[in-house]
Amino acid sequence: MATYDAGKDFVALTGDGTTPGAQQVAVVCGADVPVITLDLPPGLRGQAREQVARRQLQDRAGLTAETTEIRPIYPPKQSEKWSKVLIADAALLAEWKAIAGPHCRAVLPDYLSLPTASGIWSMAMRNDMLMVRLGPDEGFTAQPDLAMVMLEMQLDQARDILPGAILCLGTAPDGLKALADSHDVPLIASPAEAKGLGLEVPAVLTHGEIEFDLRRDPQMARTKLRKQVLPWRWPLLFALIAAGLWSASQVIETRRIETRTAQLNTQTRELVRDKFIPTGPLLDMRIQVSQVLAERQLRAAGWQDKITALDLFATAAGVLSTRGVETDQVSTVSATEVALDVTMPDFASVDQLASDLRAAGLTVTVVQSRVSEGSAAVRSEIRLRPPGTEAAK
User: Who has greater pLDDT, 145 or 299?
Assistant: 145
Fold of 283-385: Alpha-Beta Plaits (3.30.70)
Q: Is the pLDDT of residue 316 over 90?
A: no
SS3 of 335, please? coil
What is the pLDDT at residue 221? 42
What is the structure's pLDDT at 223?
46
Query: Does 356 have pLDDT greater than 90?
Result: no
Average pLDDT over residues 139-147: 93
Provide the pLDDT for residue 325: 84
Query: What is the per-residue pLDDT for 220?
Result: 39
Distance CA(272)–CA(289), nearest Å, equals 8
**What is the rounded CA–CA span in Å between residue 235 and residue 215?**
23
Comparing 304 with 293, the larger pLDDT belongs to 293
**pTM (2 d.p.):** 0.55
Residue positions counted in the chain: 393
In sequence order, what E strands does the chain have? 10-12, 25-28, 35-37, 68-73, 84-89, 106-109, 120-126, 129-135, 138-142, 165-169, 187-188, 327-334, 337-344, 363-371, 378-385
144 closest CA partner among 162, 109, 120, 168:
168
- The answer to whether the CB of 202 falls within 8 A of the CB of 120 is yes
Query: Number of C-alpha atoms within 13 angstroms, CB side, residue 341?
Result: 9
Which pLDDT belongs to residue 393? 47
**Angle subtended at Cα 333 by Cα 332 and Cα 334, rounded to the nearest 5 degrees:** 95
Question: Domain spans of the chain?
Answer: 10-212+229-246, 247-280, 283-385
**Dist. CA 285–CA 283, nearest whole Å:** 6
241-253: average pLDDT: 74
Q: Is residue 313 classed as helix, strand or coil in its secondary structure?
A: helix
Q: What is the mean pLDDT of residues 149-163?
A: 87
Q: Taking residues 322-340, what's their average pLDDT?
A: 84
Spatial CA neighbour of 65 closest among 213, 218, 238: 218
pLDDT of 276 reads 79
Beta bridge partners of 138: 135
Predicted local distance difference test score (pLDDT) of residue 65: 66
At residue 318, the 3 state secondary structure works out as helix
Sheet strands (E) in 127-235: 129-135, 138-142, 165-169, 187-188
pLDDT number for residue 226: 38
Residue 165's pLDDT is what?
Answer: 95
Q: Which amino acid is at 168?
A: C
What does the alpha-carbon distance between residue 335 and residue 308 come to, in Å, rounded to a whole number?
6
In a 3-state reduction of DSSP, which class is residue 381?
Answer: strand
What's the mean pLDDT in 133-162?
A: 89
Contacts of 87-92 with C-beta under 8 Å, sequence gap 24+, read: 87/33, 87/34, 87/36, 87/57, 87/63, 88/32, 88/33, 88/214, 89/32, 89/228, 89/229, 89/234, 90/225, 90/226, 90/227, 90/228, 90/229, 91/228, 91/229, 92/28, 92/32
Phi (first) and psi of residue 140, to 5 degrees: -165, 165
CA end-to-end distance (rounded Å), the chain: 79
Query: What value does the mean pLDDT take over residues 17-42?
Result: 87
Estimate to the nearest angstrom the gap between the alpha carbon of 272 and the chain centroid.
33
> What is the structure's pLDDT at 234?
64
In this prediction, residue 299 carries a pLDDT of 61
Band of residue 300 on the pLDDT scale cut at 50, 70, 90: low
pLDDT 10s digits, 199-245: 999 999 999 899 999 988 764 344 443 344 455 566 766 777 777 77
- Check if the beta carbon of residue 13 is closer than 8 Å to that of residue 27: yes
Predicted confidence band of residue 346 (pLDDT cuts 50, 70, 90): confident
* Average pLDDT of the chain to the nearest whole number: 82
| pLDDT, tens digit (0-9, with 9 covering 90-100), for 278-298 | 877 777 777 777 777 776 766
pLDDT, average across residues 179-197: 93
Mean pLDDT of the region 44-57: 82
- Beta strands, E only, 152-299: 165-169, 187-188
CA distance 312 to 131: 58
List C-alpha distances in Å: 38 to 59, 63, 85, 255. 11, 13, 8, 21
Q: Are strands 35-37 and 84-89 parallel, antiparallel or unpaired?
A: antiparallel
Report phi then psi at 2, rounded to 5: -65, 145
**Residue 219 confidence (pLDDT):** 44
Q: Report the SS3 class of residue 39.
A: coil
Q: What is the mean pLDDT of residues 373-386?
A: 84
pLDDT at residue number 270: 84
- Residue 368 CA to residue 240 CA, distance in Å, equals 47
